[in-house]
Amino acid sequence: MMKKITIVCLCGILLGACAADTTIPDMTAENLYQKAYQLFEKTDYEGAAKYFDEVERQHPYSVWAPRAQIMTAYSFYKKNQYDDAILALDRFIQLHPGNKNAPYAYYLKGLCYFEQMSDIAREQQMSAEAKQNFATLIARYPNSVYVADAKAKMKVIADQLAGKEMAVGRYYLKQKEYISALNRFQTVVQNHADTNQINEAYYRMAVCYTALGLTAEADKIANRLHKIYPNTKWTKKTALLLKKYQSKEKEK
């Protein structure tokens, strides 16, 4: 019986020791930050996040707290824990809107969404969220060093969103749901005119208009394409489409 009690006690002591090992001791804000950064440099991002987070917990009003919040988010980002990173960044933006690292917070939040963007066959919520955060960065902090990369990524996002609209539009067109298809292609023309989808979008619009018997609208599309994009395959296909349509009309 005594042996059992001794074993139980030893287990309790060991468990207690293990629990104590996971507890971060009280330290100065600077020492906690330095410890966290050391872990970060060793790519122990989980451990780094815990110590960075502890800076704010132990010293919420220190000058180190805002820096630690950003680094907590960055540690989560490096570990691909995007949801945790976004939560940390939202908290930072809410508490420190005027902080010098606010532009970076929006940029990093945009990256979290950007790196989760799926292919065009799936929903594009991540693309939309990335676009919104990069747009906020560009609008609020136009002189930030992160703006150039944000603008470059915005172009990628625009192509992604335009590609999604085109894919849905092609589906509707195949089903002969011409109005629904037309709406999708018009969205590309109106909202994503600087993407590589624009030429095809115009052509698909012309296809919809001819199918609906709206030849005047199709002619406008053909003229616009010839004027703006005279040498693309989609301009030639649009001209050929109208020529064939007009020939069929004459035969009738």
Q: Classify each residue of 179-200 as buried b or exposed e, where b means 16 or more C-beta atoms within 10 Å of its C-beta.
A: eebbebbbbbbeebeebebbbb
- Domain ranges in the chain are 197-252
Q: Which of 186, 169, 187, 191 minimizes the C-alpha distance to 178? A: 169
Looking at residue 20, its pLDDT comes to 37
pTM: 0.76
Q: Are 73 and 108 in contact (CB under 8 A)?
A: yes
According to DSSP, residue 23 is labeled S
Dist. CA 203–CA 207, nearest whole Å: 6
Q: Encode pLDDT of 226-252 as tens digits.
A: 899 988 999 999 999 988 877 766 655
Residue 168 tokens, joined: 């849905």
| Burial environment of residue 33 by CB neighbours within 10 A (0 to 12, 13 to 18, 19 or more) | buried
Q: Encode pLDDT of 46-66 as tens digits.
A: 999 999 999 999 999 999 999
pLDDT band at 214 (very low <50, low <70, confident <90, very high): very high
Q: Are 94 and 68 in contact (CB under 8 A)?
A: no
- How many of the other CB atoms lie within 10 Å of CB of 41? 9
Q: Encode pLDDT of 68-96 as tens digits.
A: 999 999 999 999 999 999 999 999 999 99
Alpha helices in the chain (DSSP H): 2-21, 29-41, 45-58, 64-78, 82-95, 102-114, 125-140, 147-174, 178-191, 198-211, 215-228, 233-251
